[in-house]
Amino acid sequence: MRQLKSIFFRFLIVLFGGMFSALQIAEDTGIMRFSPLKESAYEILEVKCNTCHRKQNPFKVFSYKNMGKYAPKIYKEVFVKRRMPKGDEHHLTKEEYDVLEQWLLTQNIP
């Protein structure tokens, strides 16, 4: 009986571990999106940044998957140097700055 219990618990651990990794993979690959904050930040990057980057700086087109990697650069360009968004046509609203900032705060920027 004891052995049965132990097998059962091991089964549960593997089951939940597996579910958790599957969710993590789905999130990382962008198949599924779970974070509303990241989702909103991504929408801003797509509308206010990618529209221009796609033409002028194709090596830095932000995606749901790569935006975490670019977070330190995004922070530097938008909040420190204030070089981005470049030009007069792509201003961020106060709300958009807030959303980006809130998301960047979750990103462990050095």
Burial 23-34 (b: 16+ CB within 10 A, else e): eeeebeeeeeee
Interface characters, 79-108, with ligand HEC (x: CB under 6 A): -----xxxx--x-x----------------
Asked if residue 74 binds ligand HEC (CB under 6 A), the reply is: yes
Instruction: Please check whether residue 42 is in contact with residue 67, taking contact to mean a CB–CB distance below 8 angstroms.
Output: yes
Asked if residue 71 binds ligand HEC (CB under 6 A), the reply is: no
Asked if residue 77 binds ligand HEC (CB under 6 A), the reply is: yes
Half-sphere exposure of 85 (CA within 13 A, CB side): 19
Task: Identify which of residues 36 and 87 has a Cβ nearer to ligand HEC in the complex.
Answer: 87
Task: Identify which of residues 10 and 90 has a Cβ nearer to ligand HEC in the complex.
Answer: 90
Binding part of the chain for ligand HEC, among 8-16, 20-28, 51-59, 101-109 by CB under 6 A, reads: 51-59
Task: Identify which of residues 27 and 60 has a Cβ nearer to ligand HEC in the complex.
Answer: 60
Asked if residue 57 binds ligand HEC (CB under 6 A), the reply is: yes
State how far the Cα of 2 lies from the Cα of 105, in Å rounded to an integer: 47
Q: Which of 27, 60, 68, 107 binds ligand HEC (CB under 6 A)?
A: 60
Burial of 61 (0-12, 13-18, 19+ CB in 10 A): middle
Q: How many CB atoms lie within 10 A of CB 43?
A: 13
